Amino acid sequence: MIPAAFDYARPATLEEAASLLSQEGGAALLAGGQSLITELKQRRASPRAVIDLNAITELSAIEHGPDGVRIGAMVRQAELLRDATVQKRLPLLCETGAAAGDPMIRRLGTLAGALCEAEPGGDWVAAALALDAEVEIYGKDGTRRMSAADFVTGVKPAGGLKGEIVTAVHLPYQKEDSRSTYRKVKHNAVGWSIASAAISLEPGEGGACRKVRIAVSGAPSHPQRLPSLESALTGGPYEAGRIQTAIEEALQGLTFRGDHYASAGYRRTRLGILLSRTLQELLAA
Amino acid sequence: MNAPNLNTQQHAETGKHTGKAMRRMEDTRFLTGRGRYVGDITLPRQLYAHFVRSPHAHARILKVSTEAALAVSGVKGVYCANDLQGTRDVPPNWVLPGSQVKGRPALAREIVRHVGECVAVVLAESPEAAADAGVLVDVAYDPLPTVFSASDALQDGAHKVHGDLPDNLATTFKTGNGGYDEALEKADREIAFNLRNQRLVPFPIEGRAVNADFDPATERLTFYTAHQIPHMLRRMLAGALGFPEHKLRVISPDVGGGFGPKMHFYPEELTLARLSCLLKRPVKWTERRSENVAATTHGRDHEMEVRVAVQKDGKVLGLKLDSKANVGAYLSSMGTGVPTINVALFALGVYAIPHSDVTITCAYTNTTPVDAYRGAGRPEAAYMIERVMDRVALELGLDPAETRKRNFVQPDQMPYAQPTGTTLDTGEYAMTLDLALKNAGYEGLRKEQEEARKKGRYLGIGFSNYTETCGMGNGFILQFVGFDRGGYESAVVRVHPDGRATVLSGSHSHGQGHVTTFAQIAADELGIAPEQIEVLQGDTDMIPFGIGTFNSRSVPVGGSAVKVAAGRVAAKMRRIAAHLLQCEPDNVLIEEGIFKAADGNGTVTIERVAHAAWTGHDIPYELGIGLEETEFFHPQSMSSPYGAHIALVEVDPETGEVELKRYIAVDDCGVIINPLLARGQVHGGLAQGIGQALYEDAGFDAQGRPALEPSIPRFDMLPRFETDHTVTPTPTNPLGAKGLGEAGAIGAPPAIVNAAIDALWGLGVRTLDMPLTPERVLTSIRNAANKETEA
Ligand SMILES: Cc1cc2nc3c(=O)[nH]c(=O)nc-3n(C[C@H](O)[C@H](O)[C@H](O)COP(=O)(O)OP(=O)(O)OC[C@H]3O[C@@H](n4cnc5c(N)ncnc54)[C@H](O)[C@@H]3O)c2cc1C
């Protein structure tokens, strides 16, 4: 698999990268390359130039604040999962990461790259959505922040980026008492998700949940939160029939995708079962 | 896991080195990145090829426009069918008498008949230029109607794959002793059902690769290719090319997996050889994964209807099989042989079934040609007969192990000629099954199953007592079935003046570890350590004509050749040593390179003996010069490895997901040369068999394009295998070894599917088709439930 010819640049600063990016004819940014290189090799993408972000050191920092973390765009997924504070304060992200790709992919892949790629079966995207992540974007008019939900809408490029560069992903820490999990049904051929859910529950008074965040991936056309299910589950009571109805209602509004291994109909069924089993488990805990 | 337990009366005769779990000597090289594959070989003045392939399953080629491609810098040329005048189609090499033969064109002429068929080839000074130009070759097509399955192709009025073949029929094969209807009259019941042995993509890690190098000075063609059968390829290539065979050298260096597809002769090989001769430059091509899934041969693809006449006690009185086999758009090398002979002969498995009627019909379709893939026909047969046995047991409320025992061919009936045409040479089927039952803890498993059912969990236990034949041999029989190959294998054993040895072998390892096993075999004969022996394969200039590696034949046939040749060299060394020791040759013992007289009088080293042999000093003239022997080992008949496999699965009735919880395999491949490598073969075969049962198919879309990413299992998708062996040595070769390479792939699919059906039988599920994707299983559960509510 040989890509079409392209120019290659390896800028050392963000400004330089942005100015290269603004030049004529499409250019692609290269982070970990775990998605982009395949695109190039299969000639699904033939950009005029590839701008490599790997030399921009300012993108490689993990900065912990009082309420959350700022993850530089070039922080590797594996590095992120090794960070002690991330392990402690963002268990959902770590659980998700362990199910995303394999060690070789995580060794090079980045969280920001995964969000930009916004694969329909992406695990990282589901976690970022459920964790209320924000994406930090650098452009000629300065820096702006966008919620992950606005960034990943199923339309490419993610965030409608135009000559802009994602510089970081911001994640608020999970509440100490929150219960969360990531559950994934793998596509046997490729290891991506055919149905998965990132769920975080914050317990409130008398066993009822104060806050519920649920993001699904793999089955629907693109990873997304399920607001109707979230609100149905905010405040009890949690009897099985009610949960089931709420799941059904939430799935009704979605468009599903399928392939020869698992059809859209099966993915829908499987996602329903996944949600119902996981919620029962978490609510019982 | 423990070394194999040799729990048989006829203990294997193993030596100082054979029978030992020696680690592979080649692994240091492979694990440190020093493997040398065709892709690693780049020659001076190298040209690179890029094939332009059909995106259509069936279309007329209207026009091939090459201007834009030719304008790419570094492009040498773009070639189509009419540039290869005088080149024959790639002919099949196994043609059942009476077949309608359509070989694969080197490059398509006028019509393409499957996705991935080669239409043109770009040659350029760099792989990049070739690839850039490849996408610029503009082919205009007029799509034609398609037919993808054998049953559709055989319908009246089906679209024709080849204009001059009105019925798409490649061949029909019938065997068995007949009398099914009589059997039915005597029987208590008939059980009938349909089976599908789905098409698989073999998927070796290394794709195909070729470097064709015609040297105008010597007028020799050196042809590097990732192949399993270098000598056979030389013969086939020389024939199709019209090139003198003695000037054609095939070199197959390290090969990264084959599984069957690398034993065929391909259009790309013929095209590149022709172009190298025309251009007088070396031409290199390494296959892309998208080419591998579309243009390298596929495996299996049978649609079967089976009926059995049974007694209440589970005894099967008659079997009738009607199978439709899809051979693809053209006949690949083993053309109409694999889907007929290799299936039909084994239709009765290890059972004594008085009456049988077997018919196999092979049809052309607009799909990639189908050929041998690990097991090559025997998995299809084993899947059918083993599904039958569990089905009979379930229908009659009998235990499937007991049902099998009531039908087994008995040890005192060996050798047993099955009326379908194969001969079972040895086998103690009940003994092997009993060991599997014991290893599984069968009674406990049934209890566990019952307990689980009470809790709403669905466990299932499935069996498979496969057999096959291995060690393809005897030219006479091969001729009879239209297989244009020999059934022998070559070996040269040479002891050098320093006492070390070289073994040349016509077998060709593509991952099996011959460098180690063959050295173990030779070491026992020669009385030196395996580390003192180098095993060389894969170069037709260096190695006497051989047949190559397939049909699990390398140890039984190739290994036997090594043993016989080494034995003759050893005999000569004994005679020389006896002369030097002044004793009788029969009295000479060899151990670790030292010859001793049995009565203890003096010793002489192998170096001394070898020096004498290669100088003629110190020895009588009549002993002759040298320590080198060539053997073409030609077995009289083939051996029949067999095994008893048990699978334990749990099915989630809500999701349809099948979890393989345990896999117990007891295989009998006769004498085991290296238990560690034997286990590796079992593991690899099982992984592929489990892949077929649970995950894989070619995944054609509506346009006939195979899926780019077949669901091959990774190791985290497999359970820990519980393997064991019984040893009933075969009398068909001097090693007593039967072959094991394909066993797992043959045994696993029926065991697993039987287990899943066993789990769901109570829910009304009667049959399931492979692969057992959750969706398919769930649909079956739901259909069964709907039937129940209707009833
Ligand atoms: C075999 C395989 C299996 C995988 N399995 C999984 C899986 O199971 N689950 C899962 O979630 N993921 C999986 N992945 C995907 C992997 O997680 C993503 O490919 C990876 O995270 C993308 O990050 P990257 O740094 O490699 O991005 P790249 O490949 O470098 O870039 C991806 C895209 O984002 C753009 N981009 C990258 N960085 C920026 C930036 N800072 N600003 C703007 N645009 C940017 C690029 O231009 C490109 O279009 C798999 C990948 C492979 C190869």
Question: Each residue of B763-774: pLDDT tens digit?
Answer: 999 999 999 999
Query: B236's torsion region: left (phi>0), alpha (psi -120 to 50) or beta?
Result: alpha
Q: Are residues B222 and B310 in the same domain?
A: no
**Between chains, do A188 and B709 touch, taking CB under 8 Å as contact?**
no
Q: Is residue B352 part of a domain?
A: yes
A2, A43, A188: residue with CB nearest B127: A2
Q: Please name which of B217, B222, B212 lies closest in space to residue B273, comparing C-alpha atoms.
A: B212
| 3-state secondary structure at position B35 | coil
B131, B694, B775: residue with CB nearest A263: B775
Q: pLDDT of B495-540, one tens digit each? A: 999 999 999 999 999 999 999 999 999 999 999 999 999 999 999 9
Nearest chain A CA: its distance from B477 CA (Å)? 41
| Cβ proximity of B459 and B754 under 8 Å | no
Question: Best substitution site from A6, A110, A117 to test ligand 1's pocket, by max atoms within 8 Å of Cβ?
Answer: A117
Instruction: Please tell me if residue B127 touches chain A, with a CB cutoff of 8 Å.
Output: yes
Give the number of other CB atoms < 10 A from CB of residue B625: 11
Q: Supply the CATH number for residue B80's domain.
A: 3.90.1170.50
| Side-chain half-sphere CA neighbours of A263 within 13 A | 7
Is the pLDDT assigned to residue B8 strictly greater than 50? no
- List the strands of the sheet with B594-597, edge to edge: B588-591, B594-597, B603-605
Q: Are residues B287 and B335 in the same domain?
A: no
For chain A, positions 232-271, list CB contacts with chain B under 8 A. 260-263, 266, 269-270
Pocket of ligand 1 (CB under 6 A): A 28-36, 38, 53, 73, 100-101, 105, 108-110, 112-114, 116-117, 122-124, 161, 165-166, 191-192
A267: nearest CA partner in chain B: B775
For chain B, positions 231-290, list CB contacts with chain A under 8 A. 288-290
A4, A189, A270: residue with CB nearest B709: A189
Which CATH code of 1.10.10.10, 3.40.50.2300, 3.30.465.10, 1.10.275.10 fits the domain covering A57-172? Answer: 3.30.465.10
Q: pLDDT of B606-652, one tens digit each? A: 999 999 999 999 899 999 999 999 999 999 889 999 999 999 999 99
Q: Please name every residue paired with A7 in a beta bridge, in sequence order, or none if there are none.
A: A49
Q: Are residues B608 and B592 in the same domain?
A: yes
Instruction: Please tell me if residue A5 touches chain B, with a CB cutoff of 8 Å.
Output: yes
- Which class for B790: exposed (0-12), middle (13-18), buried (19 or more C-beta within 10 A)? exposed
Q: How far apart are CA B189 and CA B395, in angstroms?
A: 10
Q: Would you identify the CATH topology of the domain A7-52?
A: 3.30.43
pLDDT of amino acid B319: 98
pLDDT of amino acid B97: 94
Q: Is residue B176 part of a domain?
A: no
Structural Rg of chain B based on CA atoms: 27
Structural Rg of chain A based on CA atoms: 19
Listed residues B260, B276, B295: the one ending a domain: B295
The ipTM assigned to this model is 0.94
Q: Is residue B650 part of a domain?
A: yes
Q: Are residues B755 and B643 in the same domain?
A: yes
Q: How far apart are CA A80 and CA B231, in angstroms?
A: 54
Structure tokens at A216: 């699904």
Banded model confidence at residue B13, pLDDT cuts 50, 70, 90: low
Instruction: Please tell me if residue B132 touches chain A, with a CB cutoff of 8 Å.
Output: yes
Q: pLDDT of B97-122, one tens digit each? A: 999 999 999 999 999 999 999 999 99
CA A33 to ligand 1 centroid distance, Å? 6
Pairing of strands B75-79, B138-143: unpaired
| Cβ proximity of B661 and B7 under 8 Å | no
Amino acid letter, B14: T
Structure tokens at A225: 């939160």
Number of domains in chain B: 3
Q: How far apart are CA B218 and CA A165, in angstroms?
A: 60
Q: How far apart are CA A183 and CA A233, in angstroms?
A: 18
Buried b (16+ CB within 10 A) or exposed e, B173-182: bebbebbbee
Distances (CA, A) of B459 to B215, B436, B577, B752, B753: 64, 18, 65, 12, 12
Q: pLDDT of B443-474, one tens digit each? A: 999 999 999 999 999 999 999 999 998 877 78
Phi, psi for B222 (deg, rounded to 5): -100, 125
**Between chains, do B128 and A188 touch, taking CB under 8 Å as contact?**
no
Q: Are residues B115 and B90 in the same domain?
A: yes
Q: Are residues B688 and B550 in the same domain?
A: no
Is the pLDDT assigned to residue B260 strictly greater than 90? yes
Question: Best substitution site from A1, A10, A14, A36 to test ligand 1's pocket, by max atoms within 8 Å of Cβ?
Answer: A36
Query: A195's torsion region: left (phi>0), alpha (psi -120 to 50) or beta?
Result: beta
Listed residues B612, B633, B654: the one ending a domain: B633
Structure tokens at B702: 């509506």
Above pLDDT 90, what percent of chain B? 93
Is the pLDDT assigned to residue A57 strictly greater than 50? yes
Domain boundaries of chain A, sorted by first residue: 7-52, 57-172, 179-284
In this prediction the pTM is 0.95
| Cβ proximity of A65 and A177 under 8 Å | no
CA dihedral B754, B755, B757, B758 (to 10 degrees): 110
| Cβ proximity of B653 and B760 under 8 Å | yes
pLDDT of amino acid B600: 75
A2, A188, A189: residue with CB nearest B131: A2
Residue showing tokens 């204009």: B163
**Between chains, do B288 and A4 touch, taking CB under 8 Å as contact?**
no
Is the pLDDT assigned to residue B6 strictly greater than 80? no
Instruction: Using an 8 Å CB-CB cutoff, list chain B residues near A43.
Output: 135
Q: Are residues B283 and B319 in the same domain?
A: no
Q: Are residues B443 and B356 in the same domain?
A: yes
| Cβ proximity of B299 and B199 under 8 Å | yes
Q: Are residues B422 and B513 in the same domain?
A: no
**Between chains, do A190 and B717 touch, taking CB under 8 Å as contact?**
no
Angle, CA of B596, B600 and B605, to the nearest 5°: 25
Instruction: Please tell me if residue B55 touches chain A, with a CB cutoff of 8 Å.
Output: no
The verdict on whether omega for the bond into residue B415 sits within 30 degrees of 0, i.e. cis, is yes
| Cβ proximity of B520 and B735 under 8 Å | no
What's the farthest any 2 CA atoms get from each other in chain B? 94
Listed residues B633, B664, B688: the one ending a domain: B633
Structure tokens at A162: 């135009």
CATH code of the domain made up of A179-284: 3.30.390.50
Q: Are residues B726 and B649 in the same domain?
A: yes
Q: Supply the CATH number for residue B627's domain.
A: 3.30.365.10
Domain that holds residue B533: 488-633
Q: Is residue B381 part of a domain?
A: yes
Q: Are residues B440 and B520 in the same domain?
A: no
The verdict on whether omega for the bond into residue A157 sits within 30 degrees of 0, i.e. cis, is yes
Question: Best substitution site from A34, A95, A125 to test ligand 1's pocket, by max atoms within 8 Å of Cβ?
Answer: A34
Amino acid letter, B19: G
Amino acid letter, B606: I
Q: pLDDT of B316-344, one tens digit each? A: 999 999 999 999 999 999 999 999 999 99
Query: B295's torsion region: left (phi>0), alpha (psi -120 to 50) or beta?
Result: alpha
Give the number of other CB atoms < 10 A from CB of residue A156: 12
- Between chain A and chain B, the number of residue pairs with CB atoms below 8 A apart is 47
Q: Are residues B233 and B304 in the same domain?
A: no
Instruction: Please tell me if residue A4 touches chain B, with a CB cutoff of 8 Å.
Output: yes
The residue of A46, A102, A187, A188 whose CB has the most chain B CBs within 10 angstroms, and thus the best one to mutate to test that interface, is A188
**Between chains, do A270 and B774 touch, taking CB under 8 Å as contact?**
yes
